[in-house]
Structure 1
Amino acid sequence: MEENFVWVTARRIRPGTLDDFETAWRPATHPRGMRRAFAYWSEDGQEITGVSFWDSKEMCDAWRASEPETQRRAAMAPYVVEEREGFYRGRQLAIPSGSPG
């Protein structure tokens, strides 16, 4: 099974700032080593979870220490109330055939 390297960030933002936050959140360039990324919003638009898949932890760490990421985080800061983040290793789970669902 293929192992994945994943960075997850969950943020709670100020009410009514989703559009401004989303503009600030998008990186100006595609980070080197990032394979793909997903974003998930709560129904009220005040919680956003980002999930990005990386070639390695080192590639993710290099992006997080970069100037473009520092600038991106500064642009998001006025909208963020709370932030949690972490780096994980894992793999896709097999779902047994014939499972309800």
Structure 2
Amino acid sequence: MEEHFVWVTTRRLRPGTLEDFERAWQPAPYPQALRRAFAYWSEDGQEITGVSFWDSKEACDSWRASEPEAQRRAAMAPYVVEEREAFYRGRELTIPQR
């Protein structure tokens, strides 16, 4: 089975700031080692979870230590109340046929 390297960040946002946060959230440039990324948000728009798939933990760590990522985090900071983040390794689960 193919192993995935995944960075997950959940942020609680200030009320009414989801659209502004999403503009600040887009990385520029996008990291080369980033394979896929997803965003999931709560119905009230006050919590957002980002899930990103990377070539390796080292590639993710390198991006997280980069200047573009520091600038991106600074741009997001005015909208964020709380942040939780972690790196995971995993694989896709097989769902039995129904």
TM-score greater than 0.5 by the shorter chain: yes
Question: Identity across aligned pairs (percent)?
Answer: 81
Find out whether 1:11 has 2:38 as its counterpart. Answer: no
The ranges of structure 1 where at least 4 consecutive aligned residues each deviate by more than 6 angstroms after the TM superposition are none
Letter in 2 for 1:55: D
The answer for unaligned runs of 5 or more in structure 2 is none
Let me know the Cα RMSD of the aligned residues.
0.5
State the TM-score, normalizing by the size of structure 2: 0.98
Residue deviations 1:41-85, cap 9 Å, x none?
100000000000000000000000000000000000010000000
Matches within 5 A, 1:62-101: 62-98=62-98
Structure number with bigger Rg: 1
CA distance in 1, matches of 2:18, 2:97: 39
Contact 1:32–1:63 (8 Å) recurs in 2: no
State the TM-score, normalizing by the size of structure 1: 0.95
Paired residues in the alignment total 98
CA distance in 2, matches of 1:8, 1:34: 13
The answer for unaligned runs of 5 or more in structure 1 is none
